[in-house]
Structure 1
Amino acid sequence: MALFISIILTCVLELRWSKVNIQDWWRNEQFWVIGGVSAHLFAVFQGLLKVAGLGTKFTVRMKSADDAAFGQLHLFKWTSLLIPPTSIVILNMVGIVAGVSEAINSGYNAWGLLFGKVFFSFWVIVHLYPFLKGLLGRQNRTPIIVVLWATLLALIFSMIWVRIDVFLPKKIGPVLTQCGVEC
């Protein structure tokens, strides 16, 4: 929480100094988060493939007069750039639900940790809200393949996260009881 508060205070000071209003700053933050988890991520992978010698082929061609008449037929239905942000939104929504249910089951001591986790998840979802609004804004326009791939990716990362479980202390070696039997 201290990190987030210090970052926000630094941004407020920069806004006051540069005379940028809050709405413009917030839109800029959202733009960079959406770009960072979609286009920038794929640019890194494409750069790594290029370094490895596996470049991508791209050919620029002129449109003919016939293409202009059928321009609406060539609109893309979905792109792989939509999958990572959708997966992140799904992961954070599931994380909020799982965290609240775990806190309810664990009792009073779990609510302190939950606040920080929910705050971070909510912060990520709010940053990706324009993306989510654009993806789900029109009825019957959301590509099912994007939702399926994003859900599959979120499920895989959730299963890995549950297996790692970084918030629980790890035991090192076997635990021996007083009688010398391993537990």
Structure 2
Amino acid sequence: MWFILLFASIFATGMLELRWSGVHIDDWWRNEQFWVIGGTSAHLFAVFQGLLKVLGGIDTNFTVTSKASDKDGEFSELHAFKWTTLLIPPTTLLLLNVVGMVAGVSHALSTGDMSWGPLLGRLFFAVWVIVHLYPFLKGLLGRQDRTPTILIVWSLLLATIFSLLWVDIDPFIAPPPPTLAMQCGVDC
């Protein structure tokens, strides 16, 4: 419930800013998607790169080079799909949310109606993430023959690791109440 209230307040603030600034809803939505995609890829790596530089003294340099060639035409770089590690976190996040939705609904179906209440909040957040990352997914899967296999392998591996850790930790189940043996020790 807290997450839904938080998102409702953020959404209301965004709508007020939209109204006051005169920005169209399509532009606002594209901006929201841009920040989620950037926040899970380039911004995340920029934080790690800054931490490496400050804490470890490791300087990471890169050189900007032109990738366009005259033989492919004026807009050839728009259709070039290059492998980069920046694609792994958003892809993994998409996989985790899709798997989480399927697992949550199947768990709710198998346990009965009592578990649907908490599930709706989790489904809301998962759908929010998937809808914001939809342009990334559309661009990634637009040409299936060009999607790098290593991207799929790394994303599946990370999603599996995170899913197994989540199942092991299971933060939504409260720990059992302490028993008398646990409170006074073994010799009580």
1:29-83 deviation digits (Å, cap 9, x = unpaired): 00011000000111111111111111124356899xxx957999xx664100000
Gaps of 5+ in 2: none
Cα deviation, residue 171, structure 1 = 2.6
8 Å CA contact retained: 2:36, 2:133: yes
CA distance in 1, matches of 2:104, 2:170: 13
Q: Percent identity?
A: 62
8 Å CA contact retained: 2:89, 2:155: yes
TM-score (norm 1): 0.85
User: Match of 2:129, as an amino acid?
Assistant: V
Equivalences, count: 174
8 Å CA contact retained: 2:81, 2:146: no
Q: Counterpart in 1 of 2:97? A: 92
Provide the secondary structure at the position in 2 that maps to 1:54: coil
Matched, 1:113 2:118: yes
Runs of 4+ that moved beyond 6 A: 60-63, 69-72
1:126-166 deviation digits (Å, cap 9, x = unpaired): 00000000000113011110011011011111111111111
Q: Counterpart in 2 of 1:40? A: 43
CA RMSD of aligned residues (A): 2.7
1:102-181 alignment runs, 5 A limit: 102-171=107-176, 173=178
